[in-house]
Amino acid sequence: MKSDHLSLSEIAGPWKDPSFVSGLVERCRDVWSKPIGSFTNEDLAMCLRQTIAVSHLLPIAKQRVEKGIDDDTEMYDGELAAAIAQAEYHAKCESEHLRICDLARHLEIKMPNHSTEPSPRSGTSAAEHPPRQP
């Protein structure tokens, strides 16, 4: 792959510390300066799930799954394949959302100004199910 020698810092810019610390943040920071060609399957899966440099990492991840490359780093069998499926689904949803927004602009329809991100509950949108009151 053309970009195997690049690191996430070269692709996405320098690391910016978030306002909190977690194991996930530490793992992302640890791979930020590694060449993406040296990522483990777990590194790739983690970054794809976090939507980091998907256009660069997805081809590498797909190639590894297609070739059956198993480096024993995945937390469970098929983790990288699941992360690929999730990234592809996310990309399709984003593409469809942009298509609908373009259509709405063309038709001069005002789009609602609320989140359409899936809710943690049952995969429905957050707008359909506002947070429950105690």
d(CA 31, CA 27): 7
- Rg over alpha carbons for the chain, rounded to the nearest Å, is 18
Number of domains in the chain: 1
Asked if residue 1 is part of any domain, the answer here is no
pLDDT digits (tens, 9 = 90+) for 27-86: 999 999 999 999 999 999 999 999 999 999 999 999 999 999 999 999 999 999 999 999
User: Which structural domain, as residue segments, surrounds residue 88?
Assistant: 8-106
Asked if residue 70 is part of any domain, the answer here is yes
Q: Mean pLDDT, the chain, as a whole number?
A: 84
pLDDT score of 130 more than 70: no
pLDDT digits (tens, 9 = 90+) for 85-117: 999 998 888 888 888 888 888 887 766 665 544
Rounded to the nearest 5 degrees, what angle is found at the Cα of 124, between the Cα atoms of 120 and 127? 95
Asked if residue 18 is part of any domain, the answer here is yes
d(CA 122, CA 11): 34
